[in-house]
Chain A
Amino acid sequence: MIQLTEETFEKTLQFFIRSDQIDLSDVSFIDPYGMVGLLEIGELCMLEDIKKTILLPRSAEVLRYLERMDFFASARRSFSLEPMHVPSPASPGKAGDSDVLLEITPIERANDIHYIVGKVEERAQAILAKHLRYDSRAINGFIVALSEICQNIVEHSENKGFVGIQKYRFPGLGKNIVKIAVMDAGIGFRRSLSTRFKLAGDLDAIEKALLHGASRHEDEGRGHGLAAVRRFVEQWQGRISIRSGTAKLSLIPKWARGREREPRLTNFPGSQINIILPEVSST
């Protein structure tokens, strides 16, 4: 295995959950989804008083990237890292790196959302305006969507979570993209909504929340969040996937590939959200 992304998550999840040691030595690429996925596995293990060991990638480039994304600060809490001394980044520090829109950031309380929104606002011109060609309205939509999606963790998961955002060049598309990964290992969509709805399963729960704005709260002002995130992603031709429990639902634009509905996956608590937003066409 050489890449840790949403595409390889199902395989790595099965493998990592069973093994005592998470061997990343051959990893050549890891994106925010891969990073926050690892951290959530670590959080789950911590609940069972298990601290697994991560064998860090041999690639200096991957290590530098993990450092720039501030992965190690969170990883040290739930994993033993080998080698213990992570090399310092050769390139400029985390905040100075122009491809990082948001380092891996824990989400535990409402104040964390203020921090996240503030950080993304600060860097929005350098990443979203410059590389995705977002105007002020699109940047506002991005920030609001991010706020809403991160709030779900504080409001519904009954656990903590992580978020990370990075800009990449996507060769297949010939465009820049931004990847947002938000995860928690909490109660998940099904348990959260089951207090109000009769649900056929995890997929049904995700569909109700993402496509129909369902919320566990009866107040009609609730349930805007995810529905608005979906509208934003669709408006800017993005891709969103939500995995929770044993199912994943993806909304896939023309330029992307994948299956929309994936039931019967390996059970993983909480919710795992991946959003990919492409650069706006100049025409």
Chain B
Amino acid sequence: MLTYNLYSILKEELKNGSNNLVTRPTGQAVRERIERDMEQTPEGSVIGLDFSTVGVIDYSCSDEIVAKLLSRLLAGEYGEKYLMLTGMNDNQRENIEVALERKDLAIIAETREGTRAVLGNLNKYLRDTLEFVIGRKKATARELSEAAKIEANTSGTRLLNLYKKRLVRRIGGDGSLWAYEAL
């Protein structure tokens, strides 16, 4: 995983000494820098946005940075790449979740203690499927069908939907079955 330290980006882009992600213009400046950096990363990259050294993030900045990056990622604007949040505290998680729920988005977030959870909106079926993939590190539709006792096309659709939300990586294909891998 490639990690972008948001505090370093904030310091370089704003130059005002603040460690807080507040206001839309701040969020826009940070997002544009991340977008430029993401352009240089190879397809298939997992990019972690590291919040461990930033302070407060408000709703506007959450929307400008996380929700917009994710919306554009899902729209295919950055190619086949994946995003997750790392080094988060409870307050940051809470504020970002509001912005994600408003746009019906979901992302994987890792706390400072290393615990991972989904932030935002994700229905129960997809949450269960994601847990299944994370538990096995990698899974195919057939494996999910067998474990969950569901039709192959249902398990395939669930895994595909997780992939479309960029919550799992898709690997393989080209004659063999697609496999889905935890980020």
Contact = CB atoms under 8 A, between A and B. Distances in A.
Nearest to B71: A221
Interface in A88-116: 110-111, 113-114
B25 interface: yes
A114 B68 contact: no
Interface residues on B, range: 20 to 34
A220 B63 CA distance: 10
A121 B90 CA distance: 17
A262 interface: no
B55 interface: yes
Contacts of A140: 56, 91, 94-95
B18 A118 contact: yes
Contacts of B68: 221
B63 A224 contact: yes
Interface residues on A, range: 20 to 34
Given A144-B58, A147-B58, A224-B59, A114 B20 contact: yes
A233 B58 CA distance: 16
B67 interface: yes
A228 B59 contact: yes
Nearest to B105: A221
Nearest to B55: A121
B151 to A, nearest CB: 34
Interface string A135-151: 01100100110011001
Contacts of A155: 24
A139 to B, nearest CB: 9
A224 B91 CA distance: 16
Interface of A: 110-111, 113-114, 117-118, 121, 136-137, 140, 143-144, 147-148, 151, 154-155, 220-222, 224-225, 228
Given A151-B24, A220-B103, A221-B99, 16 more contacts: A110-B24, A111-B16, A114-B14, A114-B23, A140-B94, A144-B59, A148-B58, A151-B22, A151-B23, A151-B58, A154-B23, A221-B68, A221-B103, A224-B60, A224-B98, A224-B99
